[in-house]
Structure 1
Amino acid sequence: MTQPTLDVIAIGNAIIDVIANCEDSLIDELGLARGGMMLIDTDQARSLYDAMGPAREISGGSAANTLAGLAMLGAKCGFIGQVAQDQLGDVFSHDIRSAGIQFSVPARAGDPPTARCLIFVTPDGQRTMNTFLGASQHLPPEALDETVIADAAVLYLEGYLWDPEEPRAAMRKAIAAARRAGRKVAFTPSETFVIDRHRDDFIELIDGGEIDVLFCNEHEMAALTQKEDFEAGLAALAPKIPTLVVTRSADGAVAVENGERSEVAAEPIDKVVDTTGAGDLFAAGFLFGHVRGKPTADCLRMGAICASEIISHYGARAEKDLKAFVAERMG
């Protein structure tokens, strides 16, 4: 097996995050699921955007956020996702390439437009996400360059993109390419509602040994295992995954790698400003340590440190020098 030239290549939604502060009352008035994420159509995207206050527009998408963190830490990364030939598509393409991440999928002509996620942030820092998937739902399998996938140590997939038929087929094709090349496959189911819709598929991937590293939070693990008790869920899932990583918000995170359990506390922080991207950056820190061969406990700590930087400000892209920040905290 040849040495990979990329550390991580990811397939995910190419989204622009639109983030605005709001009062709790607006969440109720709009009938949104506070702290959750729901998919919206074009009309809902327009009406919710009209209801937002002054907003910040930042390139996002779960897997793309993880890659941005990895690149800041010093990893070599590539991204596969679909944008449209429009202004937001140009913004996303510029942002991800300027971060040093390889991105070569051609923009798609015509409707639908580039995806966007409308994020309402309440005073406690909780984010309520409303996602219009737009062009990102139309990533075709033929957009994949299998030689690039085979050239990455880890293929990272986000569950959000499992819903539409085209990108789901593309991700299955990518998993097969990574497997043939002897590379690792990392996966996050992204949200409990995604698991509710595709649990059988995810369990099939897990039981079939197609996933080497699984990232989920405790609620997603409960949805996957159908066990509300954390320890029971961990006991049911961990034997099926070489590396299982479960985040628990303020209670830190747990990893079980080849039967050995490691835990980390959440990093102390003065104030939680916005939890958008916390899981994405946790995955970035963990994966960076993982591809560098660090012990699992160190990977967990790096993940926790990266997550703490993200929740200290708005948006899911780090504002500090992430590499220096992690090095300082790791001692």
Structure 2
Amino acid sequence: MGAEPFSNNDTPLVLGLQPSALVDHVARVDWSLLHQIPGQHGGSIPVALEDLEHILGLVKNHVISRHRVDDGVKTLAGGSVANTIRGLSSAFGISSGIIGACGDDEQGKLFVHNMNSNGVHLSTLRNKKGHTAQCICLVDALGNRTMRPCLSNAVKVQAEELTREDFKGSKWLVLRYAILNLEVIQTAILLAKQEGLLVSLDLASFEMVRNFKQPLLELLESRNIDLCFANEDEATELLRGGQNADPETAVDFLAKYCQWAVVTLGPNGCIAKYRNEIARVPAIGEAKATDATGAGDLFASGFLYGVIKGLSLEECCKVGACSGGSVVRSLGGEVTSENRQWMYKQMQIKDLPTPDTSK
């Protein structure tokens, strides 16, 4: 089950496909600001660039003053796959790269700088003329998120731009399900399989599963997905209309098609299956998250690290719980150096091998 990272600096062990680079603007705000923003609290509603800039202006005038280090608006590279890849590289010392496109604007430069400074390989990231996607993540006092992404006119990598060369020498491809990216996802999977890569798929959101279930089932039934991550809501949605829609049934369903099936259960930990083996692991860390952004993404980083290192299924789940628990301790989907130390300490307590990040 294990494979050591390559010494060759140009060939990352793990590749993430995120067709559009994305920059997150994360801020902790109070209810009065949320009432000024159109749309329901919670969830994610796409907005135009001028709306995004208007909300950003409101936020900058309105950020809660808590006399904490992470006050203000925290701007960093975002997107589920980017979070997982950055976590693998910076927190786990696994050589990782990203396939996608960023614009030639300030946000594009910021994305590149943030990923670069976390050791992520960018040789397969295309630079294009145009806008880089952005998202505002507003976090309330309870740690709930209200997201307003601006993806319109953002540059992205197209299916026909991918080549086998992009995947050559890597061992894993990390994907997130999205109907808008279905063609590029399908192409990436085919090219990755031609190069012998294992493929990991995250189910993205229960709305995505509900609205576009058929193409998702076809991806699973192709048996080209080796590892599937779903949260409880996504798993329930996948089985809707069946007999039982509980996590155990969902893990069994996914395991029919994938070597590894993982259902995360938020504060209740996770349940996973590898071949005929099942593991259940509780969550780690405070019950109350400062900001839930990236919890599932970083869980995936830890789980993948475990698989790459050849750990047992239960140990993979435990590492995932440690990394997922570390990222929710501060704003944004990036593990801060302080939270990284917390994560290593939790791993040591549980007798898990800590990464060598000295490389």
TM-score, normalization: structure 2? 0.83
Q: Specify which of 114, 122, 139 is matched with residue 95 of structure 1.
A: 114
Partner of 1:8 in structure 2? 14
1:25 deviates by 4.5
Q: Distance in 1 between matches of 2:340 and 2:309?
A: 14
1:40 deviates by 2.7
Q: Which has the higher helix share?
A: 1
Q: Distance in 2 between matches of 1:130 and 1:38?
A: 5
Q: Specify which of 227, 252, 255 is matched with residue 238 of structure 1.
A: 255
**Gaps in structure 2 of 5+ consecutive residues:** 64-72, 349-359
* Alpha-carbon spacing, 1:301–1:43, altered in 2? closer, same or farther (3 Å): same
* Alpha-carbon spacing, 1:48–1:156, altered in 2? closer, same or farther (3 Å): same
Q: How does 1:1-331 map to 2 (within 5 A)?
A: 5-12=11-18, 13-52=20-59, 53-54=62-63, 55-72=73-90, 73-104=92-123, 105-110=125-130, 113-134=131-152, 136=154, 138-159=156-177, 162-164=178-180, 167-226=181-240, 228-269=245-286, 271-320=288-337, 325-331=342-348
Contact 1:225 1:237 survives alignment (8 Å): no
Q: Distance in 2 between matches of 1:174 and 1:218?
A: 27
1:200 deviates by 0.9
Greater shift in the superposed pair: 148-157 or 71-80: 148-157
Q: Distance in 2 between matches of 1:183 and 1:83?
A: 25
Report the number of matched residues.
Answer: 324
**Gaps in structure 1 of 5+ consecutive residues:** none
Letter aligned with residue 222 of structure 2? G
Post-superposition Cα deviations, 1:116-144, rounded to whole Å, max 9, x if no partner, equal 11111000111122211245563112432
Q: Distance in 1 between matches of 2:347 and 2:327?
A: 17
Q: SS of the residue aligned with 1:216?
A: strand
Q: SS of the residue aligned with 1:90?
A: helix
Could you say what the CA RMSD is over the residues aligned between the two structures, in angstroms?
Answer: 2.3
Contact 2:247 2:263 survives alignment (8 Å): no
Q: Distance in 1 between matches of 2:261 and 2:139?
A: 30
Contact 1:309 1:320 survives alignment (8 Å): no
* Alpha-carbon spacing, 1:322–1:312, altered in 2? closer, same or farther (3 Å): closer
Greater shift in the superposed pair: 228-237 or 15-24: 228-237
Q: Distance in 2 between matches of 1:46 and 1:207?
A: 42
Contact 1:32 1:128 survives alignment (8 Å): no
Contact 2:102 2:132 survives alignment (8 Å): yes
Post-superposition Cα deviations, 1:88-131, rounded to whole Å, max 9, x if no partner, equal 11110111122211113332113xx2111111100011112221
Letter aligned with residue 253 of structure 2? A
1:61 deviates by 1.2
Contact 1:239 1:259 survives alignment (8 Å): no
Post-superposition Cα deviations, 1:274-312, rounded to whole Å, max 9, x if no partner, equal 111111100001011111111111111111111111111
Q: Distance in 2 between matches of 1:92 and 1:261?
A: 38
Post-superposition Cα deviations, 1:246-278, rounded to whole Å, max 9, x if no partner, equal 111100011111131101111022752111111
